[in-house]
Amino acid sequence: MSALLHGAAVARDFAALAEHLSASTVAVADGNAGAGSGVIWTADGTIVTNAHVVRRRDVQVVLSDGRRFPAPVVRRDERRDLALLRIDATGLPAAEPREEPGPRAGELLVALGHPLGVANALSMGIAHAAVTHRGTRFVQADLRLQPGNSGGPLADVHGRIVGINSMVVAGGLALAVPVDAVREFVGAVAAPGPLGVHLAAARLPDGREVAVVVRVEPGSRAERAGILVGDTIAARDVARLRSASSLAVGRGGMQIIITIPHEAASARAA
């Protein structure tokens, strides 16, 4: 009887672990070019995935609750197989990166992702060691990965992220980008610069308060996004202009969604 009770407790623990990881794991869709997974890195919309998952400039991200967002690719690192995406959302369930070194050889690890179209599939195995593959350091683990797992979390049994799943090598062993390399990659991304618009307060006939664009700085993020003089922005959006990845803009009596680049062109920085 005690063995049965212990087995039931273990099953509950792993079910809770899968639920915990799935909350911070997203599906990444790159049009018809393929699909993979990603990890919510910060609650304000920073998502990490593999560079090979996102070949286009703009992709779609689907959260665990079913919400879908456009996700501009902010930065890519082909050598480390990492990419950073931004979505226009806040209060997201961010993953918990592990602080201590590791994982240790023989440590139990789990991977979660969307392999072959199966949502939130959990696989389990053990860590082997840190290895170097084509000049880049990876965590190697004996667990099963399939197409669609790429970009998803490799975690310890407490749900803390130890790596971002990247590829499978000979013998079926999984390789993941170690969490310290992910931290370094994410930390290297500068905060968004000024949007580059001059605004004036106005009130629409229906009583709504808006900000009217009266000038767009040459070479700015606003110019690259296609924002025009005369466009209106809802007053509630003004406070998040710098960090927004997209904006609802009023133009000619219609509302359009404009994607905002994270950085200004380096040769024409505002």
Question: Is 147 inside any structural domain?
Answer: yes
Burial of 233 (0-12, 13-18, 19+ CB in 10 A): buried
N- to C-terminal Cα separation, the chain: 70
209: domain CATH number is 2.30.42
Question: Is 69 inside any structural domain?
Answer: yes
Amino acid 191: pLDDT: 56
Both 61 and 106 in a single domain? no
pLDDT band, very low/low/confident/very high, at 264 (cuts 50, 70, 90)? very low
Tell me whether residue 133 is one of the annotated catalytic residues. no
pLDDT band, very low/low/confident/very high, at 6 (cuts 50, 70, 90)? very low
Domain of residue 260, residue span: 197-268
Tell me whether residue 52 is one of the annotated catalytic residues. yes
Question: Is 91 inside any structural domain?
Answer: no
Both 15 and 76 in a single domain? yes
Catalytic residue among 52, 114, 128, 262: 52
Both 69 and 12 in a single domain? yes
Both 134 and 173 in a single domain? yes
Amino acid 39: pLDDT: 97
Both 155 and 176 in a single domain? yes
pLDDT band, very low/low/confident/very high, at 270 (cuts 50, 70, 90)? very low
Amino acid 4: pLDDT: 36
Task: Tell me which amino acid residue 223 is.
Answer: E
Question: Is 92 inside any structural domain?
Answer: no
Compute the distance between CA of residue 190 and CA of residue 175 in angstroms, rounded to an integer.
28
Check: CB of residue 148 under 8 Å from CB of residue 114: yes
Both 213 and 175 in a single domain? no
Q: List residues bridging with 175 in a β-sheet.
A: 140, 167
Question: Is 78 inside any structural domain?
Answer: yes
Question: Is 164 inside any structural domain?
Answer: yes
Amino acid 8: pLDDT: 44
Both 222 and 201 in a single domain? yes
Show the tokens assigned to 96: 């918990």
Both 220 and 174 in a single domain? no
**3-class secondary structure, 12:** helix
Both 101 and 181 in a single domain? yes
User: pLDDT digit string (tens) for 160-211?
Assistant: 999 999 998 877 889 999 999 999 898 865 556 678 899 998 888 888 888 8
Domain boundary among the residues 126, 160, 187 is at 187
Provide the whole-model pTM.
0.68
pLDDT band, very low/low/confident/very high, at 256 (cuts 50, 70, 90)? confident
Domain boundary among the residues 86, 109, 139 is at 86
Check: CB of residue 124 under 8 Å from CB of residue 153: no
Cβ contacts of 171 within 8 Å, gap of 6 or more: none
Compute the distance between CA of residue 85 and CA of residue 55 in angstroms, rounded to an integer.
12
- The total number of structural domains in the chain stands at 3
Compute the distance between CA of residue 15 and CA of residue 10 in angstroms, rounded to an integer.
9
pLDDT at residue 26 greater than cutoff 70: yes
Both 176 and 215 in a single domain? no
Catalytic residue among 30, 81, 88, 231: 81
User: pLDDT digit string (tens) for 75-116?
Assistant: 889 989 999 999 988 899 999 999 877 788 899 999 998 887
160: domain CATH number is 2.40.10.10
User: pLDDT digit string (tens) for 132-148?
Assistant: 877 788 899 998 888 88
Tell me whether residue 150 is one of the annotated catalytic residues. yes
Please, what is the average pLDDT of the chain?
Answer: 83
Both 172 and 108 in a single domain? yes
Catalytic residue among 24, 37, 123, 150: 150
- Give the distance between the most distant pair of CA atoms in the chain: 75
Mean pLDDT of 228-250: 77
Q: What angle do CA 165, 169, 170 make, to 5 degrees?
A: 155
Domain boundary among the residues 57, 86, 115 is at 86
Question: Is 225 inside any structural domain?
Answer: yes
- Percent of all residues in the chain with a pLDDT value above 90, rounded to a whole number: 39
DSSP code of residue 43? T
Question: Is 104 inside any structural domain?
Answer: yes
Both 182 and 216 in a single domain? no
Q: Which of 146, 144, 169, 164 is nearest to 154 (CA)?
A: 164
